[in-house]
Amino acid sequence: MKEFRKNKVRIMTGLMVIAALSLFGACSNPSGSDSGVTYSVTAADFKSTIESIANTPGKYTINLTDDLYNYSGFYLDNAGVSITVNGTGVNNITWKPADVNPGSLFSVNSGSLILKNIKLGLSSGNLTGQSLLWISGGTLEISGVTLDNNGSGDGVGMSGGSFKMSGGTIQNCKSGVIANNSTGNVSITMTGGLITGNTETGIALGSDSTSGNVTISGGTISDNNDGVSSIGENSQITVKGGLITGNTRTGIVLWADCKNCKLAVGGNAVVSCNGSMGGVTINGIGSQFNKQQGSIIYGTDGTNANTNYAIMVFNTSWEPLLVRTNDAGKNDILSAELNAAGDTVANSSAGWGTP
């Protein structure tokens, strides 16, 4: 009888091991620590592994060891789940767009998803009205990621939540990062990396976005149409570091629909070599601009010149009210605020000229 019980225990233990292997994939190799659970997976086991942990609160890291092509996409919707997907630095995940959810390569509605050291792109075709990464809530972070949309669709699309970029590259998209149809809970933070070569805007607070927040303290935004832009009411853009340069139309722009918006450029931020609309453009009624000491917004002369002007404030009819064409150097402090009708400027600092 005792031997039978021992055998029974062995059988039950074996069944539990088999169940665990079937849950995580025979090649997933999970290991635990105080910082969470780590899996080392091949492309064949990535889908089953990430889906098996998506609804179980905890902290997880998935180390992907090879290329994953034609991936159908992943959707995270659990506030208690934090997943890090870590590549080798040279391997790929490519997405094959579909007409059903998930409508992006990675989508986050709740919880935390961190993508590191991997190349993200399309398997084939073009994106129409879609983005490679999507955030409607929760947090999505990228570091060491190269995101390339083959010239179509947005890189990162948002209607809520938080996006953080500390390194890597977003390139060859429509807009690099864009928030649309958001209602006050969008946060975009850039501390490093490169956003470049996108046909529209590097970072944009787009249509029907209210009270969005953009903070840039490092990295480079270059060679897009516009560097940073907003048409969302009550938005706040703070540039306290990094380089905004070589964008075709303008470095930073608050469009006419950006009512009661705030733009501050300070710290060691540099705005240089931007195109037809110059370095900084302000147009939305009730909007405020503040250039703080330490930042440089180049003028129209020299090797780092912005075309036409350094800073321009327009009324709602796009008639210039204030203009700064010379180098706004590190010691300059400038401010301007359009009134509620958008036709006069109050509190403007010395050093501004009238057109």
Name the least confident of 22-26, 206-210, 228-232, 347-351.
22-26
Given this model, what pLDDT does residue 17 score? 35
pTM: 0.90
pLDDT, one tens digit per residue, over 202-213 is 999 987 788 899
Residues 6, 268: Cα–Cα separation, whole Å: 70
* Secondary structure in 3-state letters for 239-252: ECCCEEECCCCEEE
Q: Count of CB atoms within 10 A of residue 319's CB? A: 9
Polymer length in residues for the chain: 355
Amino acid at 315: N
pLDDT, one tens digit per residue, over 285-314 is 999 999 999 999 999 999 999 999 999 999
Q: How far is CA 262 from the centre of its chain?
A: 20
